C-alpha cells in the first residue's frame, strides 16, 4: 500500500506577509529561502533539509486550537521572549506544561493569529524559573471533556526517534 512518508511543508495563511516574516525570521530564527514566482504574496522558510514553512497572505480565518509545532533549540530564551512579547496563549490548550517525556509545551499566536506550539527536546535543560512562572502548570492539559477515544498510552512521546 502506498503511504505518506514525510511532511514536506506546512502553509500558514497570514494577514500581513512582512509582519509575519519578521516574526518567523527574527523571533524564531528561521531562514528565508526563495519561493516560486507566484502572483500572490508568499515567502518560504527552511525548517530543516526536508521541510519548509510557507507563509502566504490571504484573507482567511484562523484556527483556535489547530496548530503547527516547531521544535526550538533554546526553549528558555524563547519562553521569556514570547512572554515579553505577550504572545503566549493559554486559552486553547491551557498553560505552559512539561510533557511526560520531558519537552516543554507552550503555545503562541503569530502576528496573524496562527497558533504555534513550541517544543524543546526531551533532554533539554529547562530554566527552573519557568516552572515557577505564572504561565506554567504541572501535569498534562485536562480539558474536562472526559472523552477518552483515540490511541493513547502513558508512554507516548513527541520524539519517537529517540525511543
Ligand atoms: Fe500539539
Give the distance (Å) from ligand 1 centre to CA of residue 144: 18
Helix (H) or strand (E) holding 84: helix 75-85
Give the distance (Å) from ligand 1 centre to CA of residue 39: 32
The mean per-residue pLDDT over the stretch 68-84 comes to 97
C-alpha cell at position 93: 490548550
pLDDT in tens, 87-104: 999 999 999 999 999 999
What percentage of residues in the chain have a pLDDT greater than 70?
99
Residue 156 has pLDDT above 80, yes or no: yes
Q: In the 8-state DSSP scheme, what is residue 6? A: -
Distance, CA of 143 to CA of 136 (rounded, Å): 16
Give the distance (Å) from ligand 1 centre to CA of residue 117: 6
The mean per-residue pLDDT over the stretch 30-36 comes to 98
C-alpha cell at position 141: 492539559
> How many Cα atoms are found within 13 Å in the side-chain-facing hemisphere of 114?
29
Give the distance (Å) from ligand 1 centre to CA of residue 37: 32
Give the distance (Å) from ligand 1 centre to CA of residue 1: 28
Give the distance (Å) from ligand 1 centre to CA of residue 116: 9
Give the distance (Å) from ligand 1 centre to CA of residue 93: 9
Give the distance (Å) from ligand 1 centre to CA of residue 56: 22
Domains parsed from the chain with CATH numbers:
9-138 (3.10.180.10)
Residue 149 has pLDDT above 80, yes or no: yes
pLDDT, mean over the chain? 96
Give the distance (Å) from ligand 1 centre to CA of residue 4: 20
Q: CA torsion angle for 87, 29, 81, 104 (degrees, to 10)?
A: 80
Identify the pLDDT of residue 102: 93
Residue 162 has pLDDT above 70, yes or no: no
**Could you tell me the CA-to-CA distances from 4 to 1, 8, 45, 143, 161 in Å, in that order?**
10, 10, 22, 31, 17
The mean per-residue pLDDT over the stretch 107-112 comes to 98
User: Could you tell me the pTM of the whole model?
Assistant: 0.95
Residue 161 has pLDDT above 90, yes or no: no
**Could you tell me the CA-to-CA distances from 156 to 96, 103, 106, 122 in Å, in that order?**
18, 12, 18, 12
Residue 129 has pLDDT above 80, yes or no: yes
- In the sheet that holds 104-109, the strands lie side by side as 67-71, 115-119, 104-109, 97-98
Identify the pLDDT of residue 88: 98
Identify the pLDDT of residue 163: 62
The mean per-residue pLDDT over the stretch 6-32 comes to 98
Bigger pLDDT: 112 vs 162: 112
Distance, CA of 73 to CA of 12 (rounded, Å): 22
Give the distance (Å) from ligand 1 centre to CA of residue 38: 30
Give the distance (Å) from ligand 1 centre to CA of residue 44: 22
Identify the pLDDT of residue 16: 98
Amino acid at each position: 500500500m502506498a503511504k505518506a512518508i514525510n511532511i514536506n511543508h506546512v502553509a500558514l495563511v497570514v494577514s500581513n506577509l512582512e509582519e509575519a516574516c519578521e516574526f518567523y525570521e527574527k523571533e524564531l530564527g528561521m531562514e528565508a529561502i526563495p519561493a516560486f514566482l507566484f502572483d500572490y504574496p508568499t515567502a518560504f522558510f527552511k525548517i530543516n533539509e526536508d521541510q519548509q514553512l510557507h507563509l502566504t497572505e490571504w484573507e482567511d480565518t484562523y484556527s483556535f486550537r489547530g496548530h503547527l509545532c516547531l521544535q526550538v533549540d533554546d526553549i528558555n530564551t524563547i519562553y521569556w521572549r514570547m512572554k515579553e512579547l505577550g504572545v503566549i496563549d493559554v486559552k486553547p490548550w491551557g498553560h505552559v506544561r512539561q510533557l511526560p517525556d520531558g519537552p516543554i509545551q507552550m503555545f503562541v499566536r503569530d502576528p496573524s493569529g496562527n497558533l504555534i506550539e513550541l517544543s524543546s527536546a526531551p533532554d533539554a535543560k529547562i530554566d527552573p524559573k519557568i516552572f515557577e512562572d505564572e504561565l506554567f502548570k504541572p501535569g498534562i492539559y485536562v480539558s474536562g471533556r472526559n472523552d477518552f477515544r483515540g490511541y493513547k498510552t502513558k508512554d507516548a512521546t513527541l520524539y519517537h526517534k529517540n525511543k
